[in-house]
Amino acid sequence: MTWAIIADSSCNLRDYTPVTPNCTYAFAPLTLHVGGEEYPDDSDLDVSKLNERVHSEATASSSACPSAGEWADLFRLADNVIVVTLSSNLSGSYDSAQMGRNLVMDEYAREHGGQIMGKNIYILDSRAAGAKLEVIVRLIDRYLTTHPDTTFDEVVSYAKRLESNSQVQFSLRSFDNLVKNGRMPKLVGALASGLSIRMLGTASEQGTIKVIAPTRGDKKTIKKILDVMRSDGYRGGMAYIDHVDNVEGAEELGRAIASEWPQAEVEILPCRGLCSYYAEESGLIIGYEWNGLS
């Protein structure tokens, strides 16, 4: 029996190798459209050049989800496939993955006399982006490793609980691309930009962007992030910090989390294409699980 954990490229893991035997990790790239050119958010993308192009381009830019066919190719990698996508209320990635699942399951049934036993695909809507997906992928892999005799249904149940007990925060200095693509109200973006402040936000229950509060200064921003984590019930589980050319800020936040919760397992990653496009320069995305599932 083989396993695959699949995400879209809103998850910033790229060269991740699962610990679980006979398990594959792969991701489906979204595509960024900037100045009439396409930039697949794959491992070959030069993120610095993309960010420079986005910053200098006056015309509208946008992102597009993976096609159903691209998803289907990845779903053929293993017998049991767990998929984690960008929030369905921020992108068509989840719906496209569902179409890809239907293609593969229909194909499998035709090849096996109408039977689908032996092929399982579950698609989890993360209701988030970035660091929360990284937490989910890592902890599903860990669950498979520590439960070698688990069933597919048990993994699905764990993945659902994990998603419900995880959250994402973002601390952004610029909001242009979120506003231009309808992910943030124009008034909120204009207010934050005009006051030269960082805006702290999270994901709503529906998986849309929810503004928490404006913050000014690194120390106040970090304090507010930790306050929200504490309010969520975070007790020192796995946490990922993604950043856009802001290693110093990510490391400072990581030290603050470790100081507050010494048992915390903190990882830092650079944002790839999609998250860099929306979080913009100096942006931070923080994902964590709070209920001891790690």
Q: What is the pLDDT of residue 15?
A: 92
In a shared domain, residues 97 and 43: yes
Residue 210 per-residue DSSP state: E
Query: What is the tens place of the pLDDT at every residue in 24-55?
Result: 999 999 999 998 899 999 999 999 999 999 88
Place of tokens 């913050």: 215
In a shared domain, residues 152 and 176: no
Q: pLDDT band for position 115 (50/70/90)?
A: confident
Give the angle subtended at the CA of 210 by the CAs of 282 and 232, to the nearest 5°: 90
In a shared domain, residues 26 and 126: yes
Query: What is the tens place of the pLDDT at every residue in 185-210?
Result: 655 555 555 556 888 999 999 999 89
Q: What is the CATH number of the domain that holds 81?
A: 3.40.50.10170
Taking alpha carbons only, the member of 108, 18, 49 closest to residue 273 is 49
Q: Which of 17-26, 175-184, 257-266 has the lowest mean pLDDT?
A: 175-184
- Identify the residue with better confidence: 197 or 23: 23
Give the angle subtended at the CA of 135 by the CAs of 32 and 50, to the nearest 5°: 20
Q: Which of 109, 141, 164 is the last residue of a domain?
A: 164
- Confirm if 200 and 213 have CB atoms less than 8 A apart: yes
In a shared domain, residues 7 and 130: yes
- The total domain count for the chain is 2
Rounded to 10°, the helix 93-111/68-75 angle is 50
Q: Which of 123, 142, 164 is the last residue of a domain?
A: 164
Q: What is the model's pTM?
A: 0.94
Place of tokens 């991701």: 27
Is residue 294 situated within a structural domain? no
Which residue range forms the structural domain that includes residue 20?
3-164
In a shared domain, residues 135 and 220: no
In a shared domain, residues 212 and 106: no
pLDDT at 224 over 70: yes
In a shared domain, residues 11 and 132: yes
Mean pLDDT of the chain: 92
Q: What is the CATH number of the domain that holds 197?
A: 3.30.1180.10
In a shared domain, residues 156 and 175: no
Q: Which of 117, 146, 164 is the last residue of a domain?
A: 164
What are the helix (H) ranges across the chain? 47-56, 68-75, 93-111, 131-146, 152-164, 176-180, 186-195, 218-232, 247-260, 273-279
Identify the three-state secondary structure at position 85: strand
- Confirm if 124 and 135 have CB atoms less than 8 A apart: no
Is residue 67 situated within a structural domain? yes
